[in-house]
Amino acid sequence: MSLMESARKRPKDEPGVPVNRFTLISETLLTGILVLVLSLPVVTAPAAYAAGVAHLDRHLAGREDSVRSLWASFRLALSGSLKAGATTAAVTVVVVLNLLLAFVGQLPARGVVLPATQAVAAAGAVLLLRTAACWSTAFERHNDGGKGGRGTWAGAFALAKSESLKDWTGTLLLLVALFMSVVFVWMLPALFVVVPGTLILAAASIKMRAATRAAR
């Protein structure tokens, strides 16, 4: 079965595949670790998260969810993601630099710049998750000869902006997931390895929630 065949939507009259909760937890952890590794260059983070969300989508739908299929999704998502990756890397550098300067007490206008930095970081993270969740939908719409590309990412970004405003409760839930992830790492830094999986599961769940509401 090809990746595109696997990515097709399940017919409405076909019953969903029940998902074992323990299996979902293990799949989420494994996917998160793989996405963490794929995101290490930072510029590949959008493609990695897009592949991760698409992978959990397939798992929840009972379709192929092998590591090979995740890698195939990552390669497709990587095509045309240079602009998104470069933007992610630039914002990450600015946010990390400001936080480090604030930590050592060297950040100018700390009372204004620090809250602004935190707001930009939160908004950027939510938009990244939204865009990653919308990538597979944009891929199906554009298809680009089955090779992904800029059109897919432009479509995903436009759809993410629309969904962020239209489904504002989903956006709030993503912010809560992001906040809880930060709290977990603050309490125990070693938990950073589970953060990608947690955020990917949150993005996939919000996407499924929106699709279910739209189908009613």
Q: What pLDDT digit, counting tens, does each position of 22-60 carry?
A: 788 899 999 999 999 999 999 999 999 999 999 999 998
Q: What is the pLDDT along the chain (216 residues), one digit of tens a residue?
A: 444 444 444 444 444 455 667 788 899 999 999 999 999 999 999 999 999 999 999 998 888 889 999 999 999 999 889 999 999 999 999 999 999 999 898 888 888 999 999 999 999 999 999 999 999 988 887 765 555 566 789 899 999 999 888 889 999 999 999 999 999 999 999 999 999 999 999 999 999 888 877 777
DSSP letters of the chain? --HHHHHSPPPTTSPPPP--HHHHHHHHHHHHHHHHHHTTTSTTHHHHHHHHHHHHHHHHTTS---HHHHHHHHHHHHTT-HHHHHHHHHHHHHHHHHHHHHHTT--TTHHHHHHHHHHHHHHHHHHHHHHHHHHHHHHHHH-GGGT--HHHHHHHHHHHHHHHHHTHHHHHHHHHHHHHHHHHHHH-GGGGGGHHHHHHHHHHHHHHHHHHHHH-
The 10s digit of each residue's pLDDT in 6-22 is 444 444 444 445 566 77
pTM above 0.75, yes or no: yes
Q: Where are the domains of the chain?
A: 20-215
